[in-house]
Structures are given as C-alpha cells and as structure tokens.
Homo-oligomer: A and B are copies of this chain.
Amino acid sequence: MAHPKTISVNGRDYRWPEAPTVVICCDGSEPAYMELAIARGLMPNVERMIAKGVDLRGQSVIPSFTNPNNLSIVTGQPPKVHGISGNYFYDRATKQEVMMNDAKYLRAPTIFEAFHKAGAKIAVVTAKDKLRALLGNGLTFGNSKTVCFSSERADQCTLDKNGIDDVLQMVGMTLPEVYSLELSELVFAAGAKLMHRMRPDLMYLSTTDYIQHKYAPDTPGANAFYIMMDRYIGELDAAGAIIVLTADHGMKDKHINGAPDVVYLQDVLDGWLGAGKSRVILPITDPYVVHHGALGSFATVYLEDGVDAAAVIQRIAALRLIQTVVSGAEGCAMFDLPEDRLGDIIVVSRDTKVIGTSHSRHDLAALKEPLRSHGGITEQTIPIIVNRRVSTMQQPLHNYDAFAIGLNHAVSAAEAA
C-alpha cells in the first residue's frame, strides 16, 4: 500500500519510517543506572549502540511521573496538549477525585493512531494495564497490523482487543507477578518476538519502575534489570531497528538514613486553615503503591472559596522543604500543564523531600527498602540513547521528542557515509 511521506500529528511532522522504529520508555531510569551498568561492562549491546549512535540526556515533563510522560512521548507534546497531568485530578464541579486512566481524559491523538490510520503496522507493549488503554487509544485490531497489550494481562489478550492471543506462548514465559522484574522483561521479550513476527513500522515498549523504586544504581538488583534489558535491545538492534531508548522520569533516594523524608502537607494545611479548607492531590497516587507508598515530589492543592492562595503559597514557601511553590496558573505556564486539571497551588519538593497528604493516609508498612521516588525537578533528567547519529535538533531535548528523533533525525548509515 502506498503511504504518505510524512504524518502530521499534534502540530509536528513525522517522516514515514525507513526501518522499524522502536521507542523504549524505561520507567524510572535515572541516568546513573545505565551509566554505571555500562561502566561495569554489563550492557555490551547498549554500549555498541552508543558507539555507532549517540548518548544524550534530555528532560522529562513535570510532574516527573509515569503517565504524564508516557503520554507525552506518544503524543510528542507536553501535558498542556494531551491533558494527562497525573493519575488523578480533582473535579471541582462534582467534588470527586477523578482517576485519569481512561482514554476519555486524553485530549490529543497519539502518534500511533495517526500512523495507524495511514496504514502503518504498530506494536505497543506496556507493563501495567493502567497505561494500555491510553497508549492504545484510537487503534483498531483484528487487521494483523496492530498489537497493543500489557504484560500484566498477557494471559487475557484476544485478537479482537489486542491483536494477539498467544503472548505467553510466544515469549515462553508464565504470567509474571505485578511486582517483579519479569513484568518488564515480558515487555522486552514480546518486543523482540514481534519485531520478527510482524516487523512493525512503529514499536513502543514501556516498562514499570518497580525495580528502580527498590534498588539504587550500581546495585545487584538494579544491574540484573539492565543486563536483562540489554540482551533484548541487542536483538532489536540486530534486526535493523532504529532504537531510541529513553525514560519517563528519573528516580532518587527520598529518605534520610532509611526514614522517608516526608512532609505531610494536608496535615500542615489543616493545621493552618482548619479541616476541610484545602485538598492536597498527589498525582502519583494509583492502585499500585507498594513500591512508593504514594509519596512523590509533586503535589497540587485545591482551596475552598475564601482561602487566600497567595498567603498559603507564602507559608508553604517558608517551610523551606520546597523547591517551587507557585499558583496553579504560574505552575501550569512553567511546566506546560493543563490548568483545568491542576489546583490553586503547585508544589514541587526538593532533594530527598516527598510530599504526603495526611500521615494516616499513607501506609508505609509495605515499603521494605528505603524510599526512592520521583515527581520533582530532581528527577527530570532522563537518558536519550539512539543507535544512530542524529541531526541537529532544538535544545533542550525532551523525552517527548523520542519519535521525532527516531523518525526525523536519526541519520541512516547511507546518509552518514
């Protein structure tokens, strides 16, 4: 089938792929993980990629959480455009905390949808099912050209809903636990198999950061993950794919001598304003909290009518626990966020600090290791590793430039020669 030379989506043009183009979003992959694993000689395939390609750093969007960044990568735009500013927002009209896992909250088409409509073959594999619906929005199945599923539900895939029904057999694995290295391994294993089986035009592989929350860079637990990842990346590279390896966000220690370094902001605000005058929303909150206790470095605060936002901002700033505390409008302008999905105040905490709501609402008993988390500016630096040289691009790079890099800026061997 004839295809267009370029596809336009969300105001950016993307060239039709000259080779299968794979973007890997390695969840929580603070640059030090790969820097140090490579330094130990544990990632020979990524090291070869770098030798023939480039090893760059870029920025995640703020909040440096999973969903805002995954959706940014697959739409090529910040949350201001696609609307997914976190896992939760507060609907003032209905007074409900609303979870944004449903595709109805997505305000922009994905790059996949646009290429799919033009006849491209698309493969999307993500670790947790919470992302699948958002990433696969606008895709249709049963056409042998589209695959989209999560490792978490790899045993429930159907041709009608996922474009594939034999995932576990294909990869030769049993269904992994949600909290496991294998949940991410299945993403890569499926990617490598699908590369050969369907040779997609675009592939997106998105892992989960369970390991990165648990283990710091240069530890055996972390290195086991990167050794595993490197093996599959080697297969994709050998198959001739253009590979852009990036991350949704970084990951940092959020404890002092093992104790979580938490500010329970709802408790603080209730103390100042009285109960019921403010509502702290932590957009990191989701049904899977074992590995981070819903503690991250970004929060937004909704205030009841009559509460003086400027005065509250000033008092939060004076806590000195905080990197940035600004009005919702200022913060949305600063971080390219959608104003209607954030509150009256945006708070980003610094260094090891994380923000909680009320002490009583965080169950930290499940945290077996010292807290590591993300959400702030301190977790904004992410790797952008490409297995080809790249032509000049506007700086600074963002992870949501990944498809533009792979499709428009990765220089083919022929061009480079």
A-to-B contact residues, CB < 8 Å: 31-32, 35-36, 38-41, 47, 50-51, 54-57, 216-218, 313-314, 317-318, 320, 323-326, 350, 381, 389-390, 392, 395-396
Contacts and interface: CB of A to CB of B under 8 A. Distances in A.
21 contacts: A32-B56, A35-B57, A36-B395, A38-B55, A39-B54, A39-B56, A47-B51, A50-B55, A51-B51, A55-B55, A57-B57, A216-B395, A217-B395, A313-B320, A314-B318, A317-B318, A318-B318, A320-B325, A323-B350, A324-B350, A381-B381
Nearest to A252: B396
A57 B35 CA distance: 8
A50 B46 CA distance: 13
Chain A interface, DSSP helix/strand/loop, else mixed: mixed
A324 B41 CA distance: 38
B35 A54 contact: yes
A126 B73 CA distance: 44
Q: How many copies of this chain does the complex contain?
A: 2
A320 B318 CA distance: 9
A36 B56 contact: yes
A-B pairs, top 3 by smallest CB distance, nearest first, are A39-B54, A314-B318, A317-B317
A326 B50 CA distance: 42
A396 B378 CA distance: 14
Contacts of A325: 320
Given A40-B392, A47-B51, 17 more contacts: A32-B56, A32-B396, A35-B54, A35-B55, A35-B57, A36-B56, A38-B54, A38-B55, A39-B56, A41-B389, A50-B50, A50-B55, A51-B51, A55-B55, A57-B57, A217-B395, A313-B320
A389 B39 contact: yes
A384 to B, nearest CB: 9
A230 to B, nearest CB: 16
Contacts of A217: 395
Contacts of A350: 323-324
Nearest to A390: B39
Nearest to A323: B323
Nearest to A39: B54
A234 to B, nearest CB: 17
